[in-house]
Structure 1
Amino acid sequence: MTTSTPLHVTWPQADARRIRRQFLDRPADAPPAPVAAAMLGAHAQVLSAAELSVALRRAEGTRADVRAALWRDRTLVKTFGPRGTVHLLPAEDLPLWTGALSALPAGPNGHPPHVRLTAAQTDEVVAAIADALTGAELTVDELTDAIVARTGPWAGERVMEAFQDKWPRWRQVTHLAAHRGVLCFGPDRGRKVTYTHPGVRPLTGDRALGGLVERYLRAYGPATPGNLARWLAAPGGWATELFGSLAAAGRIEEVSFEGAAAWVAAGDTDFPDERPPRGLRLLPYFDAFAVASQPRERLFPGAAYERALGRGQAGNHPVLLVDGTVAGVWHQRRSGKRIVVTVEPLRKLSAARLRDLGAEAERVAELLEGRAELTVGPVTVGPHA
């Protein structure tokens, strides 16, 4: 996986290109789905954070447009994406995503032996889910009944430990069913989650994996196999072999990134000059840029590495991005239309930057369909608050 004279790429160059391709320098005149595609999905464990992640990258509109794309137009799909976490993904990209995610190596089964499903039982449950959700939107309880009716009582036995409760056995394959393309989220029914069938056919594993790696490298390259493995929560050795096969096929190429070997998609070697990217942004929980950009110590320099990361994990705190690096944390609290935005900078901001911060807080509030009240000072709440 080497070339004789690899291109040398610096951190400012890579950072500036990622920011440009993420529409964080100049919002895109584009609908929500293409924006989510450029991000490689918006993390949606907290749906309002995903709505803001997509909305702040668009030149017009609010979070309402993201919701309309998700539930009315169905150009976005809420499903289990990379790392098994909930994401908003473009509907037209779902064949690639499901094909790639279902081809990842299976990790160790963390359930006790008496809880686990056999391979045959897993396939039977996934088939039952596909049949039950086709043309339907079912709550967890309704889906449980439908699965038991198609398989047997064993699938519904409440044996899985979960949040001081016990879940039915079949739920251990929820993520797998999503990755095989037979389950995604439907609209909430009151306070209850529903699932439905996305109606897609996954691409074949090799084709899908190669396509996903190329998209990942275009969005977040240069990157290493270890970076990809971390992003997907996949084994490092497997990622190294995958990069080797893609390099041999001429689909990716090596560059020198800050003096170390890294890879970009073949032919994608156009980088801006070495000036650091300019601008200020408030990024919400688990924003794709903050999670996927590597090396993490360059994106979170100095005090930011301790203050804005949770044991090295990005996304636990919303972050203040200044000139391409994390320079603080922030928090928002809503009361009706009033949105109190508290920002804790980790370095002194100039008068011009404070004006930029005020404008950004106002924009965030507008995207969330509210009115901003900005406070610059310590953020006293913990992660995920």
Structure 2
Amino acid sequence: MNSLTWDQVHARRLARHHLVKPVSGDLRKPVRDVCGVQSQVAAAAELAIGSRVKDATQEQVRAELYDKKRLVKTYSLRGTLHVHAADELALWMAAMRWKPYWRAKDSWHAHHGLTAKQGEAFVDAVREALDGECLTREELAREVSGHVGAWAKDKLASNWGELLRPVAYLGVLCFGPVRGAKVTYVRPDRWAGLKTEVKDQPDPEESAMEIVRRYLRAYGPATHQDLARWFALRPPEAREALESLGDEIAQVEVEGRKAYVLAADEGRWPSDPSCVRLLPQYEAYVLGSGPKEVVVPKDTAARVFEHGRGRYEGAVAHQIMLVDGVVSGMWERRERGGKVEIKLESFVKLDSGQTKELEKEVERVGRFYGAEATLSTGKLVGKKR
């Protein structure tokens, strides 16, 4: 059994996330490699992608989503909005249908309080409503309820979109361009020419196991508890998923903690995690990497808890400074007078080399938004909630 340090683990995770050396060109590669980018805050997802691609701009990311349509936003991991590479959408939707309630006798219909007949009628109504159309939630609710009954309008109007998730997993719906302040929905086949419906999706179990492999590649070493939290599984289900990979995985020990990696990766461990990055809310690296106390140290977690939504969601609720793979500060951005003003609260003292890296990061964030960026430091002020 290999014995590793956390520095080695941070170094490889940073490399796999393209945070040490951003990729050139294809914006889909980092999205694939980090297993999708959480997008409940659209601007955060845009910056997360841009942070991993050399010289990327916000306009380029948006063009990939809404003009070239090579990236697509939909419901995915943990039932949360994610951006995925469009050509992998069927894989991800199939993997989401591997969840236990989809395999149960009554499938997703009963899980959402519907009969099988209601569920099938609902999906058919969404498919018809989005045939060549781009609809807001209100427009979609009106069209669908006109076909299946008023009950559908209430469920679709819910901010949680409880019935939008299963329809997305069935490959019938994804997100279209924003219309004013409102999101819109489209059909993947009509929007981007994608074959994503169930008949065109790969096997759910095989798809889920492929996602588990990708998770280990990007976030390993990982325990079954880490996987359960990330994939929204019960711990026994996550353990079973890991065990099903057999000799494809190997156990390692990281400073006393036993976890799993892909066997093919067992001997590939860089030693230097040097990296200072300014990253957005809901950053994939933080969401997927465990254990949390190693990525977000106790003192940092306490400060995060005091500030805004950190009390409820932890460090992922904030824009963060990542130093050598560890959350080491929070930052805020304001656009004023044609400039991007960045205010940073650092929880650590940066050496001269790290300070230079930070300055480059500030410049990079400015370029992403097409403006000059300035940096100030001090404690961030936010309301306790």
- CA–CA distance in structure 1, aligned partners of residues 124 and 315 of structure 2: 36
Cα 1:252–1:131 change in 2 (3 A) is farther
Q: For 2:141 and 2:161, locate their aligned partners in 1 and report how far apart those are by CA, in whole Å.
A: 9
Corresponding residue of 1:361 = 362
Moved more, 214-223 or 330-339: 330-339
Question: Do the aligned partners of residues 264 and 352 (structure 1) sit closer, same or farther apart at CA in structure 2, a change above 3 Å counting?
Answer: closer
The residue correspondences of 1:334-349 to structure 2 (distance < 5 A) are 334-335=335-336, 337-349=338-350
Task: State the Cα distance separating 1:151 from its structure 2 match.
Answer: 2.0
Structure 2 counterpart of 1:133, one-letter code: L
Alpha-carbon distance between aligned partners in 2 of 1:296 and 1:73, rounded to the nearest angstrom: 37
Cα deviation, residue 245, structure 1:
1.8
Structure-2 residue corresponding to 1:3: none
State the SS of the aligned residue for 1:277: coil
3-state SS of the aligned residue for 2:265?
coil
Of 249, 254, 274 in structure 2, the residue corresponding to residue 252 of structure 1 is 249
State the distance in 2 between where 1:336 and 1:288 align: 31
Which of the residues 17, 22, 28 maps onto 2:12? 17
1:155·1:169 contact (CA, 8 Å) conserved in 2?
Answer: no
SS in structure 1 at match of 2:329: strand
| Shift in alpha-carbon separation, 1:38–1:336, aligned structure 2, 3 A | farther
After superposition, the CA RMSD in angstroms is 2.5
- Cα offset for 1:29? 1.1
Asked whether 1:38 is paired with 2:38, we answer no
CA deviation string 1:57-88 (max 9, x = no partner): 11123111111110011110011121111111
Choose between structure 1 and 2: higher helix proportion: 2
1:262 is aligned to 2:259: yes
**Is the Cα–Cα contact under 8 Å of residues 276 and 322 in structure 2 kept in the other structure?**
yes
**Residue type of the partner of 1:298?**
V
Give the aligned residue type for 1:203: P
Instruction: Output the amino acid matched with 1:366.
Output: R
The 3-state SS of whatever aligns with 2:72 is: strand
Distance 1:123 1:307, change over 3 A: farther
Secondary structure of 2:267's partner?
coil
Report the CA distance shift for 1:368/1:383 in structure 2 as closer, same or farther (over 3 A): farther
Q: Which residue of 2 aligns with 1:195?
A: 185
Match of 2:333 in 1: 332
Give how far 1:169 is off: 11
Corresponding residue of 1:180: 170
Shift of residue 171, structure 1, vs aligned partner: 4.4
Aligned to 2:334, the other structure's residue is in SS state: strand
Pairing 1:129–2:126 present: yes
CA offset digits 1:164-186 (Å, max 9, x no partner): xx936994211111122111101
1: CA distance between counterparts of 2:151 and 2:348?
57
**TM-score of the aligned structures, taking structure 2 as reference length:** 0.87
CA contact (8 A) 1:308 1:328 kept: no
Shift of the alpha carbon at 1:30? Answer: 3.1
1:213 matched residue in structure 2: 212
User: What is aligned with 1:376?
Assistant: 377
- Secondary structure of 1:319's partner? strand
Change beyond 3 A, Cα 1:257–1:139: same
The code of the aligned residue for 2:269 comes to P
1:300-315 paired onto structure 2 within 5 Å? 300-308=296-304, 310=310, 313-315=314-316
Residues 65 and 263 of structure 1, relative CA distance in 2, 3 Å threshold: same
Q: 1:29 to 1:128 in 2, by over 3 A?
A: same
The superposition leaves residues 182-214 of structure 1 with CA deviations (integer Å, 9 ceiling, x where unpaired) of 111011222322101113133211111111000
Q: Distance in 1 between matches of 2:97 and 2:335?
A: 38
Percent identity between matched residues is 36
Deviations 1:315-343 (A, max 9, x none): 11111111221111111112252211011
What runs of 5+ residues in structure 2 fail to find an aligned partner? Answer: 103-109, 190-195
Whether the aligned pair in 1 keeps the contact of 2:276 and 2:323 (CA below 8 Å) is yes
Work out the number of aligned pairs and report it.
Answer: 363
State the distance in 1 between where 2:72 and 2:172 align: 13
1:205-244 correspondence to structure 2 within 5 Å: 205-244=204-243
Q: Which amino acid aligns with 1:178?
A: A
Shift of 1:240: 1.3
Q: Which amino acid aligns with 1:212?
A: I
Distance 1:169 1:130, change over 3 A: farther
2:65 counterpart residue number: 70
Distance in 2 between residues matched to 1:301 and 1:169, nearest whole Å: 33
User: Which deviates more, 329-338 or 290-299?
Assistant: 329-338
Alignment of 1:80-95 (within 5 A): 80-95=75-90
Q: CA deviation at 1:383?
A: 9.0
- Could you tell me how far apart the structure 2 residues matched to 1:246 and 1:150 are? 45
Q: State whether residues 138 and 157 of structure 2, in contact with CA within 8 Å, keep that contact through their aligned partners in structure 1.
A: no
The structure 2 residue matched to 1:47, chosen from 42, 45, 48, is 42
1:337-380 deviations in Å (ceiling 9; x for gaps): 22110111112223443333222112111112222121011111
What's the counterpart of residue 298 of structure 1?
Answer: 294
In 1, the alpha carbon distance for the partners of 2:382 and 2:356 equals: 25
Distance 1:315 1:290, change over 3 A: same
Q: What SS does structure 2 have at the residue aligned with 1:24?
A: coil
- State the alpha-carbon separation in 1 of the partners of residues 252 and 143 from structure 2: 52
Distance 1:35 1:244, change over 3 A: same
> Letter of the aligned partner of 1:204 in structure 2?
D
